[in-house]
Structure 1
Amino acid sequence: MATSMLSSTIVLEVLRNDNYPNWSACIKNYLLAQDLWDIFETTTKPPKLEDDAVEFKAWRKKNAAALHAIQISCGVEIQSQINDISSAKTVWDMLPKLVHQPPSKGASYNPVAEQGNALNILSNNVHEDGSMIAPYQKVEIGSSSNNPGRQNIINTWNADYYMGYAPLHKALQSGDWNSAKEFLKLQPNSLTAKITTLGKTALHLSVEAGHVHIVEALVEEMSEDDLEVQDNFGNTALLNATSTGQYKMVECMLRKNKKLVSMGRASPNGFHMLPVVWALSNGYIKIARYLYSLTPLEDLIPEKGRSGSTLCSEAIYTRALDIALDLIRRCPRLVLAPDNYSFSPLYALASAKYAFPSGHRLVFWKRWISSCIHIQLANGTTTNEVHLIIQKDVGCQSDAVKTNRLSSGIHIQLANGTTTNEVHLIIQKDVGCQSDAVKTNRLSSGIHIQLANGTTTNEVHLIIQKDEGRQSDAVKTNRSSVGALLRRPFSKLIKLLDMEHLYEMKLAHEQSRELLQLMCKEILITDEEGRAEGNVYQAIFRSIKEGVFEFVHDVVKANPDLLWSHDGDSRNIFSYAVLCRQAKIFSLIYGIDVKDNMAYDRDNSRNNILHMAGMPPVSVMLNRIPGAALQMQRELQWFKEVESIVHPKIKKVINNDDMTPRELFTKNHKDLMKEGEKWMKDTATSCTVVAVLILTIMFAAAFTVPGGNNQDTGLPIFFNKKLFRLFIVSDALSLFSSASSVLMFLGILTSRYAEEDFFKSLPTKMIIGLSTLFFSIATMMIAFSAGLLLMLGEDSSMVIPVISLASIPVTLFVLMQFPLLVDMYISTYGPGIFDRKMKRWL
């Protein structure tokens, strides 16, 4: 009887009913070595694409690798029972039970047949006379019960075949091209032969080993058809190169055979994926742009599968919006086409918070710079402008993409008039191969400052470029001595102001705006069934959860009937905005005429919009607010704001739990109110200690003045000096303000802490207490400085260091607590988070 043979490079024997302990130990060690075992030990649910795309992709990649390792290490009978399972952890948990089950009825266990079938996926054809031309040979195993007298022929492993390629395998792995070349001369057929049990060729192995020089040499020797050879998993060498980020390898293979861009393989969930999609899904944007420029549009249309929609979704997730925009321009039908994860590019854009202005919280000076940046995606001209173009990793792209990047830039209008006063700055990094238009742009790029009107004789030229590679003589000529002197300060200034990031952010905003406009047009001409299949309603509610105001506004404005969209729990747009605490999106209700109808709407649990304000938020918006007390204040502000727009009778409506909105609010915010009380008391206690300490010091300083008193008159010796008067006034102000601060904090500590107290009473006391405390600290430092100057006179060498050292602890305290004061003041007395003056928009 034949014994079980090697089925893969992972285990010595495939899994049968009698070898599970040894098999599981081997496979576990392999998974540990490949850093895949953690997915079997976790107790949490797998991440979802809509929650975290990056985490989901990482999990998906590990799960697919582990599942594949298990599948190829199982016998045919066991493998047939796990083929439809997509979770590696589920399969692993099932295997101990499966191996103890008896064979299915009517079948008997045949180790040779099982082994041969498992190895069939690795086999090649044989000659009619039975001579071996592959790593397998024919073996007769007897008659079949269903076909008496007929010999069953299977393929069995020929170890000598692979051993013959061992020197070539070793040379390719180590990067020894000379040894590999000698082997190929002796055995020319080995250039395209499958030399591993996984069906990999010499080119596959060289790509995986990362040896670019060997790959280039092999490609030079191979024909176009040779490059199309696939391993047992359907991977061409190009696919392996795109999955590992080897740009030069991809480039050299496609120079030989451009048809490779259309040869994909099945993804872990069974859908066909082209090389460009594989590159993007693995985060290699530069390679993806290059592959996209060569991929025919016919391969990306919805009728050819899900590659086009998946490419568009992946481009959005990986921030390659230029690819997504160009693809939607060329094939708008992809907007609502399902991708490999059954979502649409529209849904992907709704999840891309980074692509919209509402997804960024910038400090004021960055907001100002961003407002000065004008991105022009279409061709056009402007006058008297500052142009800053920052381009990275462009690669070879299609004409549409190139045009967009060429015309994109920072445009800051300087003055009205002629076109003679301009400043031009272009920063380009790692551009790679480009069209003539790009090269021309590079020749004329630089800082161009016109010094005299009407002529071009007095100019300063500066080019800041990194990793350009080969350049023309014209570019090198422009690198003047003036440019060399100015290059460093300008590059440091740009880095300091974070202008490159601001440009990329602004460019993404403009690209997403145009992309959204194209998508809205496609939604408009789509029927109800198409919208449902294209995730239109899911996308709207996902954008609400993410707080993407622009998406909700533009989609609903372009398609007004979507205003009445509901989610799976029958919640409308504004109810869900309240539940997610998205104030800007909720404020859209002030710009429509049907807000009363929206307020009357109820969900499946008969909750109205005011009930939503009483529920805990489903998003993380509340976590952005510092301190539980301010969070409780914000929840009260939400409840009162929604309460102000609904009909009075809605306030008393009960839901399925027989609770009014106010009762629901009280129930769901008990814990937050307790946390807010604790936060208020802890803050007030710590501040009281500081205020009392200042009060004590200032009280004592008032009677122990610097220099002492005159023995005859009893007046201070420095009474007539201005510094002494400054000392006395500062001491008194510090004393009185610290006393006021103590009283305010005592009021907080003795408060009753009712719900309404968190709305204004407690925050007001905290604002007064902190303000007077900061004022007392400032005046205390003034009094201290004045006293030192009086004592030491003109000896400033001691005064300045002492004052500086004394200011350190005080400054640290102010820096830690002052932001809290600002936040509390804005939250309590600021303009508010709701835009009640929203203009009519629908």
Structure 2
Amino acid sequence: MATTNSSQSISVPLPIFDGSNYDLWEKKMMTLFESQNLTDNIVGKGLTDNIVEKGLKKPTNISILEEAQQKEVTKQKDASALYLIQQSLAIKIFPRISEASTAKQAWGTLRKEFRGDSERAFEKKRGDAETKQGYVEATYGAAMEGDWKRMVTYYQEHCQEHIEYFSSPVTDTWDTVLHLAIHSKEEKPLKDLLEIMKKRELPLTTETEILKKKNKFGNTALHEATIYGNYKAVILLVERCPELLSIPNEFGETPLFTAAGFAKTEIVEYLIRHNPEQCVDDNGRLLPTHSKRSVPSGDDLSILSAAIIGQKFGLPVKRHHEVKSQVQTWCPENKRDLESGRGRNSGDPGSFSERNQRGGILKNLKVPEGCWLERIWNQKRKHVFALEFAKSLIKEDDSFKRVTKTEEEQETRAQTSQNTPVLSSLTTKKEIPLFTATRRGIEKIVELIIRLHPHAIDQRDEMNRSILDVAVMYRQEKIFDIVKEKKIPFARMRRVVDISGNTLLHHVADMIKNSGVTKPGPALQLQEELKWFERVQDVIPSYYVPLLNKDGKTAKECFEIAHEEQLNKAQIWIKETSQSCSTVAALVATVVFAAAYTVPGGSDEKGKPIFINSPYFLIFTVSDVVSLASSLTSLVVFLSLLTSPFELQEFHISLPRKLIVGFSFLFFSVLTTMLSFGATILILIQTERRLTTLLLSIASFLPVLIFGILQFRLYVSFMGSTFNILKKNWKLIHRS
């Protein structure tokens, strides 16, 4: 710090101004000027001005010599003040006043540029907010689109001015750019970002703080790398900052624990082998930090239990009974069945269809008034308008444009909110547009919101549920698939637990909000529910399956309790259907059996059929035999169905499969029976008129046609369910 000497030869330190904290520097300098009697030179007042200001008469008899001496003293003081200002400025600030000839001029220049007025300060603040919003949108948008090169390029261009961007959150869950780079599942994005930090030659403490930055769940970038299996990213982070290995998240889980819980064998092996001092003690045992987690709920899940529940790899243990005992300790009274635990390239999804709806020939096409197409055309036009209107509203909705706050800002906001009264009880029931669209199954609106405001996908409701939870509760499969395609947010949302302790799988049990029923009949609806349960179970972490909610129930137990009534209805329906179909099958079998011994036209003296040489006779014989075999097979299947156990899991594959087999053979038996009947008519009525033959054939197959039309939806539903099951089984066989 520079120094100067006063008239009393007192050494005075000079505060250095480098462009920041101008108000603080100004106060220190004013104190210095006051101590050196130089304030008048800064304010711009002379000796006579001070006299008048004190209420005295301005003298008129000052001699020319005294006035000259006064001017000389003023000039010397001004030079001293200017010298002090120049010496207190950093090298990069000095050129701003290099042309100033007086202290007042230099002081005014600095004051005007760095202090400014309230309006300029407001504009600067707003500009900073817009810059930060642009940074957040650019980073998260590029990451969601998988354009990692664009994301890294953005940091190369802006990090020189804003190094704080590396530690600033870019998502509503406080993920930094390092967290997002992990999701690329590649080494390059993270490596490039670390190289940018290295070129800045940051202090070691600053770089370490950036690498240790946590998101809302307490996860560092290393936690995320172990969860998503980015092996090369793990190596980069551990080599750069080995201390990351010992940092727990909000659930008391270290990166080694999460690697074990998510069955990342290769990462577990690397961490233990290359960083033994951070993972194990002198006896080769895991350190207590890694061996189990400690959370407020008190489950104390051990790393071994997490690895076993994953069922994808095993950690080395001495004896099998040790594994069993630890699992039983975590799962008291054996209430959980661990053996059954399982663990768009286009930027505008709707752009192509919208262009076709609005452009080309359709744009100028006019439908005549009164035409039957007018109603359809008007509905189509309203749909396009509604979509465009919704798009404009989504763009202008400020609720989506949120710049994520830092921890300090979050704390300040929380303290402020405690003193802010609630304006209305309605504020607690405010509808979130994205959640409303999800509940109603409007996938186009959901896609628009996510595309225009990527951060909206991370929103939570008052129960801490995400849109994935809502999609599961309301059985919105299309929206479930949309969210599933967004790899980064989906990876987080599948692990969300609401304030009631319910996981994503627990929400499948919610029957009240089930609005996505598409199958006819209670049995097929129950099968659809079981398939939905299995599908959701496949996407959540394996060790989430046996977790208990605050009511002390697993997701499976909640599902069984919620579907008791539907199970009873399905049991009654399938019994009544089987009995009715058995009666029809028996009736068909009786008819065709009798027809087999009563050939059309009778027989001659030798017992040989009279019309044996007719081509229709062969059709009659074959169709009659096939009909008899089909009806008897159908009867056997339905009788087997009536004696089957009507347990919940039987409605997933076993019972629907038997039902589809029975229906198929019954339908085929009716079809061949009518074919046999038609052949008999054509044999008995020998005519050359083709029209008569055609009418007789149509009349013969009319019952089959009516039966097919009435049962078409049910039959297609059975076939669709069976096809999906066979497709899934084929994939499993192919993988193995």
Same structural fold, with TM-score higher than 0.5 when normalized by the shorter chain: no
Q: TM-score, with normalisation over the residues of structure 2?
A: 0.45
Larger gyration radius, structure 1 or structure 2: 2
Q: TM-score, with normalisation over the residues of structure 1?
A: 0.39
Structure with the higher strand share, 1 or 2: 1
Structure with the higher helix share, 1 or 2: 2
Q: Which has the higher contact order (CA 8 A, sep 6+)?
A: 2
